[in-house]
Structure formats: C-alpha cells, structure tokens
Chain A
Amino acid sequence: MSKIDLQLAHRSVVKNMKKRIERQTLHVYLEGELDLHNADKVKETIDIEIDKKGIKNIVLHMDDLTFIDSSGLGVLLGRYKKLLPLGGQLKIANVPPHIYKIMELSGLPKIIEFL
C-alpha cells in the first residue's frame, strides 16, 4: 500500500465533505471512504439540507471517493428514497471505476441516474 493510499484511507469522508448550492441543487463532494463509520454523519449532513433548506435535488460528486461498502450504498439509497416523494432527484457524478463495479452489483445504477 502506498503512502498516498494510507493517507486517503485515514481521511474522513465527513471532515472533508464540501457542499455548495447552485440553482436550488445541492452539490456534495465526497472524499475518502464511505462506510459504517461515517454513514450516519453523511446522512445527517445531507438530510439537514433537505429538511431545513427544502433542497430537492442533489448531485453527489464521487471523484475523490476511495471506498464504499453496503453501509455507504445504504446512505445513497436512503437519500434517493427520501427525495422521491418530495418530487426531487438524486444524481451521482464521476464515480471511479472500482466503486462503480460495487454499485453495479448492488443494482443502484438501475434506479439512480449517473452523470
């Protein structure tokens, strides 16, 4: 494992999570690893925007996401399910190939739009 891998593995997806709102769409930039350790924090951070700011459309940018497992995928599916009755949409952008492979196995690309 290279030094860079170790640094990325240690990086908390939550601590480095950047957000911006553009034309009523929330853009969230996920960095590092999304697993059980930070699933709840990511969920809470996004849900506050939906519940308090009335955000209905979200784009999750995954350029710098290094790892995801079923706990992380659960967060994505949960946000999709939350936005659906609000008439909103969740989109996922720039997924690294090794992460897309895991998403594909889960069937997520069949219901969520990938950019």
Chain B
Amino acid sequence: MKVNKLVLTFSSLPENITISRMLVSALGSQLDLPINELEELKVAVSEAVSNSIIHGYKNNPEAFVTLELEATPEKITIQVIDTGCGIPDVKQAMQASYSTDPERMGLGFIFMQSFMDELRVESEVNRGTKVIMTKYLKNLQPSH
C-alpha cells in the first residue's frame, strides 16, 4: 500500500497557519477530495495549529509546532504536535465554549470533531499536546 508522509516543523507564528492549511489542501487535492471536504480539512488544521500557538505556547514565537501528514489510498491522517504547556483536562477542553475569552468562541475542538472522521487528543501538562485527526477517503469511482 502506497503511503505518502510529509512533516513540517515551523515557528509558532500565526502566519504559519496559512502555510499549514495550504499543505493539507494541496495533499487533499492530489487525492481528489471534493472541494467541500478540502475546506473542512483546512478548518480542522487551522484550529489545531491555532490551539498550539495560543494555548500550548501562549503565543511564544520561539517555540515550534510540527505538522505531520500521512496519506494512504484509504485515509489522510493529520497530526499537530506541540511541546507546550499541555491540557490539564482534555475532556473538559473539548467541550463547546470552553474558552473564557469573549473574543474567542471556544469552537476549535467542535470544528475538528465535526469536520474529521476521527479525533484523538493526547496531552500531558508541561510536556505538550498531540492532536491526531483522520479523514477517510470515500470511493470516488462509480461502482459500475
């Protein structure tokens, strides 16, 4: 089975969120994902990387975020990894409107859950967080 892996490590800077989205979108395009699903992948990766920058690293631009992508004929797996402060209670953090900032909607994990087929969050306080998201590729060929 053909496996295509891409790894990108970048400074924890908001301008790199666009680059993460473009990479995911380019990979998805190669796999002929429909446009609406590409848009969903872009939102999911945007939320995960934003979380690492804002919450994991508290906007410290000297830290690094790693984006790992893996594509097989069946699925795309996206991992967003930081070595930041970690999440004390992952279950609580994944609930809607967890954010206390009135300018933020607390919808990051909700979007990731809605737009991906699987979402797993591994986190350890003071060690970091790894978000693992999977999208299964539907068979785009007509069945006849």
A81 touches B102 (CB 8 A): yes
Which residues in window 80-122 of B have CB below 8 A to A? Answer: 101-108, 110-111, 114
Query: How far is B43's CA from A78's CA once the two chains are assembled, in angstroms?
Result: 20
Stretch at the interface among B46-54, B61-69, B71-79, B128-136: B46-54
Interface size for B (C-beta < 8 A) is 30
B26 touches A1 (CB 8 A): yes
B22 touches A6 (CB 8 A): yes
Question: CB-CB < 8 A to A105: which residues of B?
Answer: 107, 110-111, 114
In this assembly, does A71 line the interface, its C-beta being within 8 Å of a C-beta of chain B? Answer: yes
Question: CB-CB < 8 A to B11: which residues of A?
Answer: none
Given A67-B42, A69-B43, A98-B36: A36 and B53 interface contact (C-beta under 8 Å): yes
B50 touches A70 (CB 8 A): yes
Question: CB-CB < 8 A to A78: which residues of B?
Answer: 102-103
In this assembly, does A95 line the interface, its C-beta being within 8 Å of a C-beta of chain B? Answer: no
Return A111 CB to nearest CB of chain B, in Å.
Answer: 12
Query: How far is B101's CA from A43's CA once the two chains are assembled, in angstroms?
Result: 14
Binding site for B on A (CB under 8 A): 1, 5-6, 9-10, 33, 35-37, 39, 43, 67, 69-71, 73-75, 77-78, 81, 98, 101-102, 105-106
Given A71-B46, A78-B102; 9 other pairs, CB 8 A cutoff: A36-B53, A67-B43, A69-B46, A70-B105, A70-B108, A71-B50, A77-B103, A77-B105, A102-B111
- Which 6 residue pairs spanning A and B have beta carbons closest together? A37-B14, A69-B46, A70-B107, A78-B103, A74-B104, A36-B14
